[in-house]
Amino acid sequence: MVIMLITTINVPAKASAEDALDIHADAAIIVEASTGKILYAKNEDTALGIASMSKMMTEYLMFEAIQDKKIKWDQEQTISDYVHEVSIDTNLSNVPLEAGKKYTIKQLYEAMAIYSANGATIAIAEAIAGSEQKFVDLMNAKAKELGLENYKFVNSTGLNNKDLKGKHVKGTGAEEENIMSARAMAKLASQLLTDYPEVLETTSIPEKTFPGMPAKMKNWNWMLPSLIFSYEGVDGLKTGTTDFAGYCFTGTAKKNDMRVITVVMNAKDKNGKGEYKSRFVETKKMLDYAFNNFSMKELYPDDYQVKGHESLPVINGKEKKVAIQSDAPIQVVIRNGEEKSYKPEFKVNKNLLNKDGQLTAPVKKGEKIGSLELKYEGEHDYGYISKPASANMVTVEKVEKSNWFVLSMRSIGGFIGDVWNSAAKTVKGWF
């Protein structure tokens, strides 16, 4: 099934020098969050088990449902027999939920985001969609809407279906699990942080008390400041572990003005053995690499004019050309020392030009006539998980249409000029 889901995707060539990072995992990726620039990737398009990293999709749908006022933070959800049965399984990450008892969406969400509580996750799914069956449909639909590839959701939690007490979603295998590629996982994380950055307010909590639970919920993300694998700037996002998926982690950290997203899937130690700490050891290597070798740079300011493309010709206007410039700065993440590897590229909207490459008056001030994009001429390019940074190229001033008299005189002048040029050539031929 996994093999069938793998899609061949054309991606930029990878430099062999990157292999020195030597990440011990079946798949891995590093992405700068604001630009979507991929800084490192390994086996990034193969669909693999994601375990509880699945809960990031549940979180996304929950935030969306709150935004759309389908549910509320203080709304109480009655615990079903199914949720109760899953929640009391001590072999799984859980907070015990009593059947028939009510908990708020906020309480259930904190249990899911901090402690990866599986029963609480299913309760949220039921609150949003009425059943986990319908919620899984929403998960797959949202993944498609977000443009993800190489994925399949079969439950809301990331558990193996065999752990769902015989109540797994109809049409899915009895021992099936959620799968996704590292690229898709990073893209989901990026979308979650972009649309609902408040998720970090909860994923960054090291521990918290849950009603009726004697011990505090301890965050499974041991890279949070103050925990055993503490790393400066780490504030999310989600761990995941099953026998099928191995030890997984989607992490994020911010230093200065740069936020990085990392994904490791089935992380191992240097001897190829899976250990709980392996995902954090490998993530640290990736974060160190990103923060030590890359930085955010504003390559081109707003009002930038591309050399050789400072203006466009205009026909039928009071002026014969109009100046053009960018309407916003372009900020990108760059490998240190590679600023000169980027060149500006002007791309005009040819639909706005006539066959002679001219704009036709009237032309509005600030009219979008193309884009300013970047061309990378270096050796280390993994591409982007989203559209690369660019800016609109717009007109600096308006150009009004000339009146009929001026246009007529220009036409006459052009005609006379053509006659004169023709005569001059003929005369020249006599000598």
Report CA 96 to chain centroid distance, whole Å. 34
DSSP codes joined into one string, 374-428: EEE-SS----BSSPPP-EEEEESS-BPBPPHHHHHHHHHHHHHHHHHHHHHHHHH
Q: For the chain, what is the radius of gyration of the CA atoms? A: 29
Reduce the DSSP state of residue 341 to 3 states and report it. helix
**Known catalytic residue: 52?**
yes
Amino acid identity of residue 3, one-letter, is I
Active-site entry in 14, 37, 42, 52: 52
Report CA 142 to chain centroid distance, whole Å. 14
Which residues, 6+ apart, have CB-to-CB distance to 411 below 8 Å? none
d(CA 279, CA 221): 10
Which residues, 6+ apart, have CB-to-CB distance to 282 below 8 Å? 23, 24, 25, 28, 264, 267
Given CA atoms 32, 36, 39, 40 in this order, what sign does their dihedral have?
Answer: positive
d(CA 393, CA 405): 32
Helix axes 182-195, 55-67, angle to 10 degrees: 30
**Known catalytic residue: 55?**
yes
**Known catalytic residue: 295?**
no
Specify the residue for token string 């023709």.
422
Main-chain dihedrals φ then ψ at residue 38, nearest 5 degrees: -85, 125
d(CA 309, CA 327): 15
* Start-to-end CA span in the chain (Å): 84
Reduce the DSSP state of residue 22 to 3 states and report it. coil
Q: Which of 220, 214, 231, 191 is nearest to 56 (CA)?
A: 191
Active-site entry in 14, 37, 42, 55: 55
Contact 375, 388 (CB under 8 A): no
- Quote the strand ranges of 215-367, DSSP E: 217-218, 234-242, 246-255, 258-267, 294-300, 311-315, 321-326, 330-335, 342-348, 359-360
Assigned token pair, 299: 């390559």
- Please identify every residue annotated as catalytic: 52, 55, 116
